[in-house]
Amino acid sequence: MLDYLGRCLVQLVVTLLGVVTVAFFLMRAVPGDPAQYMLGDYATKEALAVLREQLGLDLPVYQQYLLFMQRALTGDLGSSVVTGQPAMTEIMDSLPASAALAVTGLLIAIAIGVPLGIISAVRQGTWVDVAVMMGALAGISFPVFWLGLVAILVFAHKLSIFPALGASTSGGLLTQLYYLMLPAIVFGFSVAAYIARLTRSAMLEVLGQDYVRVARAMGIRESRIIGRLALRNALIPILAVIGVTFTLAFGNAILIEVVFSRPGVGSTLLKAILARDYQLVQAGVLVLAAVVVVVNVSLDVIYGFIDPRLRVT
């Protein structure tokens, strides 16, 4: 187990290094100049040059990279050129809002997707199955920002059940949830579609296994076979997809945060990219990559609990 965790740690470090490097060069490859952005269109050449020197932007890119890595390894990712705050602080401040959205959305997705997938598998070929799969197809096909806009139109504008925009960071838990619900549902719905489809195919495969036939021959109740004996086997591929969707979740979160004007890593990152706020982008990418790796490692550990064949001895 220790070996395993050690290996995960190595994996984490390598992944983060790679991701940060890619983000660094990608940002430099995008046209645009942070100094120009900060000083506006009418800045003098001299002023620009001074600022660029201050920011280290006059150096060749590889030197900038080495300098950045040197600082990054000591934990200093620089400060946002826009706000002047340390980049890491800025990102960490916006993380809770994103995490809340992603986790709530995923919980909603699981709560909808897994049962629908199971029902669909058990009733394979019936109208129930067809209806669920049509719904899932729709969920996958409609872009999440479109779903978000429709949801705002229907639930906030016409029905006025939920607030249309923003988030409450100061209010109590209920208020926060109240603001969170609509974006989370929109997000959950699109992910639920993936989960339902996968649950269905995983269940169908498991229900065709010999041990299910044996359980039936032993007179075990169908509900017990599906809900316990088969489901635990089907959970393994389902979890894998949840891991992937959690990764996607943060990607989708950007869109949703923008549509709903919510604070979060997504909207912070978007603003940072538009402003060519290199430091902030790098910190954001680093944090997102860390979240993805940590989620996947935790899933690996959970696999071990579900599937004894993978258990570390």
Structure tokens at 31: 């046209």
Segment near other proteins (CB under 8 A); pick from 16-24, 41-49, 229-237, 241-249: 229-237
Closest to 277 (Cα-Cα) out of 38, 99, 9: 38
**Under 8 Å CB-to-CB from 38, ≥6 apart: which residues?**
51, 81, 82, 275
Closest to 242 (Cα-Cα) out of 192, 183, 169, 170: 192
**Which of 3, 46, 159, 223 is in the footprint of other proteins by CB under 8 A?**
3
Q: Is 216 in the site for other proteins (CB under 8 A)?
A: yes
Q: Is 213 in the site for other proteins (CB under 8 A)?
A: yes
Q: Is 174 in the site for other proteins (CB under 8 A)?
A: no
- Smallest gap, in angstroms, from Cβ of residue 298 to other proteins? 15
- Smallest gap, in angstroms, from Cβ of residue 195 to other proteins? 20
Pick out residues in 180-209 that bind other proteins (CB under 8 A): 209
Q: Are 297 and 8 in contact (CB under 8 A)?
A: yes
CA distance 27 to 16: 16
Closest to 143 (Cα-Cα) out of 180, 104, 195, 190: 190
x/- letters, 232..251, toward other proteins (CB under 8 A) = xx------------------
Q: Are 74 and 156 in contact (CB under 8 A)?
A: no
Q: Which CB sits closer to other proteins, 102 or 293? A: 293
Q: Is 7 in the site for other proteins (CB under 8 A)?
A: yes
Give CA separation, 97 vs 171, 219, 249, 268, 274, in Å.
13, 49, 13, 11, 21
For other proteins, how many residues bind (rule: CB under 8 A)? 27
Q: Which CB sits closer to other proteins, 13 or 67? A: 13
- Smallest gap, in angstroms, from Cβ of residue 7 to other proteins? 6
Closest to 179 (Cα-Cα) out of 265, 267, 261: 261
x/- letters, 283..312, toward other proteins (CB under 8 A) = -----------------------xxxxx-x
Segment near other proteins (CB under 8 A); pick from 2-10, 98-106, 114-122, 193-201: 2-10
Q: Which CB sits closer to other proteins, 101 or 293? A: 293
Q: Torsion angle of alpha carbons 234, 236, 240, 241, nearest 10°?
A: 10
Give CA separation, 34 vs 16, 30, 62, in Å.
24, 11, 18
- What are the residues binding other proteins (CB under 8 A)? 3-4, 7, 209-211, 213-222, 224, 229, 232-233, 306-310, 312-313
